[in-house]
A and B are shown apart, each in its own frame.
Chain A
Amino acid sequence: MRFFNFHLMPYPALPKDYDGPAWVTCPNELFDPDVGHQVYNRYLDELIYSEELGFDGVCVNEHHQNAYGLMPSPNLMAAILARQTSRVKIAVVGNALPLYDPPTRVAEEFAMIDNISGGRLIAGFVVGGGPEYYSFSINPAHAREKFQEAHDIIIKAWTEPGPQEYIGKHYRLRFLNTWPRPVQKPHPEVWIPGVGSLETMEFVAKHRYAYMGIPYFHISVFDRQFRLFREACEKEGYTYDPKQAGWLVPTYVAETDEQAREQYEEHFWYFVKRLLPGISIQPPGYTTLRSMENIAKGAGTFAMSLNTWDEVEEGVYAVVGSPQTVYEKLEANISKLGTGNLLGLFQLGTLPADLTKRSMELFAQEVMPRLRERFPEGKPILEPSEAVAS
């Protein structure tokens, strides 16, 4: 079992009287650079501190023109982390490939991070969220094709000797010859986040990459997603490795359950009610109808429609409580989902620095060691497969 601290780097200071979307058209006059200066540095400190606490890695991601996450360039963050940490994996989850033209740039920057960090990069590739296609005016109808081509270019650049040529429908590179090349051989571990698109799962299974379930849905949606992913692996003729699955979940630990909820709840609602609106916009043609239908099955449980804390608890939209409670909830769900990577969102919404830090410490000291013991590295996690093995 591996543990990651995933940061969204949210904008925590949307004015109280603003009730519009946090994406695409959220007026950038609302961004205060003084807040920006303060939170970027604070958020980086939180990620860097994860190493001292014993996490296996840290995660950053890419979103544009929004208040939900201030990382239009996760690679800048990863470059800083590469210098300021020495042990943890640095997972960039990921670069939105169709937004880089040519995608050679991703091969280059990822290789730079892998070189600087001495082989600690986890390379995440994403199609990009729906809002990004509005924000960058990129045709969503070409999203999947561009993603495929960009992926092929990056892997080719990393694994085959250059100079070489790549001639595709969307990208034509007569001299593909990336300097530097990555440290890790044949290339860094690849993670692909998904919200239930069948094409994405099949792609991940085919390449034996890792599938990261995106949060903010009812736990039953994750259950279904990871089952479909494991089936996709079986179709490729192998049994998935728990390392190939990751569960991303907001996590908060305090001394008691009561304290945890009291300290955390308002910050969670800021995230859900202020930062999520606008995220689920689906540009036309962005996913196939087949996948759209699959995603739609879970869409009714999207966190934005949450109204009560009971719903949050029941659907495991966040794991919040005392160390014992958090252990129990994580243990129960990890063994159900079969995920060998836990990607905890320890900072969320407006959660302040002191509470974030304390929660990370309690998690690292009182929850993580017990989960490591319960789910040893290299052992199957799913209960049914354990039964089969014995």
Chain B
Amino acid sequence: MTVEAQTIAAHVGSIQVRRGGSGDPLVYLHSAAGEGEGLALLDELAKRHDVIAPMFPGFGESEGIEQIDDMEDAVFHLLDLFDRLELDAPAVVGLSLGGWLAAELATRYPERVSKLILVNPAGLYIKGAEIKDIFGRGPGEMAEDMFADQSHPMAAQMHQVEKMLASGGGNRGAIPFELIKPQLQTMAATARLGWDPYLHNPKLRKRLHRISSPTLIVRATEDTLIPAAHSEAYASEIAGAKLVEVAKAAHLVSIERPAELAAVINDFLSG
């Protein structure tokens, strides 16, 4: 079963959605990396679910980022999308930024989420266990936080860009614009949501008690971008939440360990 890309008209503009499979609906919210195209995880999940993976405005082909100033706007966009896709209360899984968005949705509109899965979620500030910087560091350094295995093709590409930067004296002009354009786009979109406060909402933690759906927190054991304390905080603040780990994966676990992550998600959803 493979997911197919389609375009739907949303209030903010045209939105790219990947959908496929059959079963109960399962919405996948991507991270700041904008994963979706060719993401094996979606195909894995589509074996047992009706998988719906929208690209957030500013990512992929999706329009309308100029209308989204913050997480509040992002949640309203998601509600709009759910209505247009006739999703009453799907299961929602989100990675990192997507996990934060899912948590914001579930605290405000708990009735729109049947089951919640937060994977290496952003969204909280924990003193002494801060989320590392994503807006100013070079791709080589970032790759170390994103992948447990530095020989993963995407990690290797990030190191390649780093090398090109270094050879140009730290100069972005030394890199072909088309190569960095997608990354500039996704980071610009992410900045709208998470520049300040940095990748968190100071009010989120005290609102987590509002989440009423069964909740699973997934932490990749080698995620060095978001410390374990964040997953633990989510797990302790959301009533009945379960915390599980996926080994041999770092922050972008959806890309690095699709089969293992799908197994954990399927296990939780069938339970």
Contacts and interface: CB of A to CB of B under 8 A. Distances in A.
B172 A296 contact: yes
Contact of A285 (B169, B173, B192): B192
Interface string A285-308: 100010011001111111011000
B173 A284 contact: no
Given A296-B172, A299-B172, A289 B192 contact: no
Interface stretch (A50-58, A109-117, A133-141, A365-373): A133-141
Contacts of B135: 134, 283-284
Contact of B177 (A24, A139, A142, A293): A293
A69 B57 CA distance: 38
Nearest to B187: A284
B174 interface: yes
B66 to A, nearest CB: 9
Interface in B60-86: 69
Of the candidates A137, A285, A296, A300, the one having the most CB atoms from chain B within 10 angstroms of its own CB is A285
A280 B170 CA distance: 9
A285 B172 contact: no
A284 B184 contact: yes
Interface in B178-200: 181, 184-185, 187-192, 195-196, 198
Contacts of A133: 195
A72 interface: no
Nearest to B195: A139
Contacts of B173: 296-302
A277 B185 CA distance: 24
Contacts of B195: 133, 137, 139-141, 283-285
B38 interface: no
Scoring B169, B177, B190 by chain A CB atoms within 10 A of each residue's CB, the highest score goes to: B169
A281 interface: yes
Contacts of B192: 139, 141, 285
A141 B188 contact: yes
B153 interface: no
A284 B172 contact: no
A258 B184 CA distance: 45
A263 interface: no
A282 interface: yes
Q: Is the interface of B mostly helix, strand, loop or mixed?
A: helix
B171 A137 contact: no
Place the interface of chain A in its size category.
20 to 34
Given A139-B196, A141-B195, A284-B191, A134 B136 contact: yes
Contacts of A296: 172-173, 177
Interface string A94-138: 000000000000000000000000000000000000000110011
Given A24-B136, A134-B136, A138-B196, A285 B171 contact: no
A81 to B, nearest CB: 34
B23 interface: no
A275 B65 CA distance: 35
Contact of A284 (B168, B190, B198): B190
Given A281-B136, A289-B181, A139 B174 contact: no
Looking at chain B, what size class is its interface with the partner chain? 20 to 34
A235 to B, nearest CB: 23
A280 B136 CA distance: 11
Given A139-B196, A298-B173, A305 B188 contact: no
Nearest to A293: B177
A304 B171 contact: yes
Contacts of A297: 173
Given A284-B188, A284-B190, A137 B196 contact: yes
- Could you say which of B172, B181, B187 has the most chain A C-beta atoms within 10 Å of its C-beta? B172
B34 to A, nearest CB: 13
Interface string A240-284: 000000000000000000000000000000000000010011111
A233 to B, nearest CB: 27
Contacts of B190: 284
A63 B191 CA distance: 22
Contact of B171 (A142, A284, A293, A300): A300
Contacts of A302: 169, 171, 173
Nearest to A134: B136
A304 B172 CA distance: 11
A305 B168 contact: yes
B101 to A, nearest CB: 17
Name which of A138, A277, A280, A296 has the most chain B CB atoms within 10 A of its CB.
A296
Nearest to B32: A284
A300 B168 contact: yes
A139 B197 CA distance: 9
A278 to B, nearest CB: 8
Contacts of A139: 191-192, 195-196
Nearest to A294: B177
Interface in B158-174: 168-174
Nearest to A296: B177
Nearest to A139: B195
Nearest to A281: B136
Interface in A291-347: 292-293, 296-302, 304-305
Nearest to B70: A139
A289 B174 contact: no
Contacts of B181: 289, 293
Closest 8 CB pairs of A and B: A299-B173, A285-B188, A284-B187, A300-B173, A305-B169, A284-B191, A139-B195, A141-B192
7 contacts: A137-B196, A139-B191, A282-B172, A283-B135, A284-B187, A300-B174, A304-B171
Given A133-B195, A285-B188, A305-B174, 15 more contacts: A137-B195, A137-B198, A141-B188, A141-B191, A281-B136, A283-B136, A284-B188, A285-B187, A285-B195, A289-B185, A299-B173, A299-B174, A300-B171, A300-B173, A304-B170
